[in-house]
Amino acid sequence: MKKIPSNVKHFINSQKLGYVATVSDDGTPNLSPKGTIITWDDQLVFADIRSPKTMQNLEENPSLEINIIDPLLRKGFRFKGTATIIGGGPTYDSILRHYRKNGIKSPIGRLVLVDIMDFSEVISPLYDLGATENEIKEKWKNYFSGL
């Protein structure tokens, strides 16, 4: 399991949406948005709120990839790991309390704990062209405010 640096943990815990990729039983990819991805020690966690296909896939093959990208900065991280599904016990109870304390009201069946095997940074090609973080952020703030 790979250790997650504190600045990466802060980034993950500050984002409100990530994407979990699993492998379906026919070998095709399954991508699902998740609004509950957090760090728990050096693991990632997300809740099974409305995830029947993701959970089915993880029961068959626990390998997954999670991408979390800041939509304004166009920066983020991709994590490759192995999932463990839990439905009770002290860790489950602690994480559930954390979610409730932080405003998650949806019913939560099970939780997915992810041991991180590898992770890497994702950065928009705009940075390669010399754009600054502030310029990119302003560009996307203007874009989203005009929708």
Residue extents of the structural domains in the chain = 6-145
What is the CATH number that goes with domain 6-145?
A: 2.30.110.10
Q: Are the C-beta atoms of residues 77 and 114 closer than 8 Å to each other? A: no
pLDDT digit string (tens) for 22-48?
Answer: 999 999 999 999 999 999 999 999 999
Q: Is 87 exposed, middle or buried (0-12, 13-18, 19+ CB in 10 A)?
A: exposed
Q: How far apart are CA 50 and CA 32, in angstroms?
A: 10
Percent of the chain clearing pLDDT 90 (strictly above): 97
Partner residues linked to 32 by β-bridges:
20
Does the model's pTM come out above 0.75?
Answer: yes
Q: How far apart are CA 131 and CA 14, in angstroms?
A: 23
